Amino acid sequence: MTGGLVTFGETMALFTPPTVGRLRHAGSLMLGIGGAESNVAIGVARLGLPAAWFGRVGADELGETVLTRIRGEGVDVDAAVRDSEVPTSLMIKERPQPGIARVTYYRQDGPGARLRPSDVDESVLRGAQILHLTGITPALSDSACETVRASVELARTLGVLVSLDVNYRAALWPAERATPVLRELVRYCDVLFAGDDEAELLGVTGAPEVQARRLAGLGPREVVIKLGARGAVGWVDGAPVAVDALPVEAIDAVGAGDAFVAGYLAELMSGEPVTERLATAAACGACAVSVPGDWEGFPHRDELSLLTSRHGTVIR
């Protein structure tokens, strides 16, 4: 792949009841896929930039579902590994009440935990613009953590920018184990995304604007603190930046942060100034929360303008 974004991690089969209520009362489940890293790759591809995702899936129908759905969004998955020793991991997302999502994972010792440094194909990274990582992957196992470290080292050798979204998952590893690993990764990344609570996990306190500046002092050239409905603030190339969230009716907040990251990185790769990067990121996040699904609402570039259309507009 020439140019564009490369990312890797674990993408799971996703089962979702079609209605609001307890899972036990659901008469059927819809089959989809979900994974933070593949979400970002899909978001970048929808905005017209090259994107590649790799990882491990089981050598089973659910694994083929994962690969088929990601490939169908225009993302290169040729470097993915089909692992015949374990089944594809699962996640179930239910909506017990309107506006509330509950996600349950079945991923312990799954394919993602079996990632290894040899899975990082130099030919995939060579020529890429950005390697995007999350704090989820190093939490899966020691070998997955080593794979992340190896990818960062290779990216820096090849002159590829490294992007990191902290994406802390307390269910995967405790703070005392996560903090030193994540702080190490922050030192070697060029672009950092974090929530204000995740900044505190990294040992940085204060108002979000202060957190962004202090995190930049650890190494990244660009830091963005995602604040959900409050927008985002950051510290980019030695100066503060900010963007407001767009007012929309939030239907499903899962994946909004990934959409934001995808929008920002797509514009970064396109050479747009930081104001444009943040504006597109905010628009992508707003589109994502307006539609059910982890990534289904991510916009194509010609759909970004729909957010400014009046309610009730009919496009013919």
Longest distance between any two alpha carbons in the chain, whole Å: 55
Close Cβ partners of 6 (under 8 Å, ≥ 6 residues apart): 51, 52, 53, 54, 124, 125, 128, 130, 131, 132, 160
Report whether 51 contacts 76 (CB < 8 A): yes
Token pair 């899966």: residue: 140
Separation of alpha carbons 18 and 253, rounded Å: 16
252 catalytically annotated:
no
For residue 186, give Cα distances in angstroms to 8, 64, 191, 259, 291. Answer: 17, 33, 9, 21, 32
Residue among 76, 196, 258, 294 flagged as catalytic: 258
Q: On the CB side of 188, how many CA atoms lie within 13 Å of its CA? A: 19
Token digits of residue 1: 């792949």
List beta partners, residue 68: none
Q: Other CB atoms closer than 10 Å to residue 131's CB: what's the count?
A: 26
Closest CA to 67 of 43, 86, 42: 42
With beta carbons less than 8 A apart as the criterion, state whether 157 and 130 touch. no
CA dist 33 and 68 (Å) reads: 10
Interhelix angle for 61-72 vs 36-46, to 10°? 30
CB atoms within 10 A of CB 252: 20
* DSSP 8-state class, residue 289: H
Catalytic residue numbers? Answer: 258
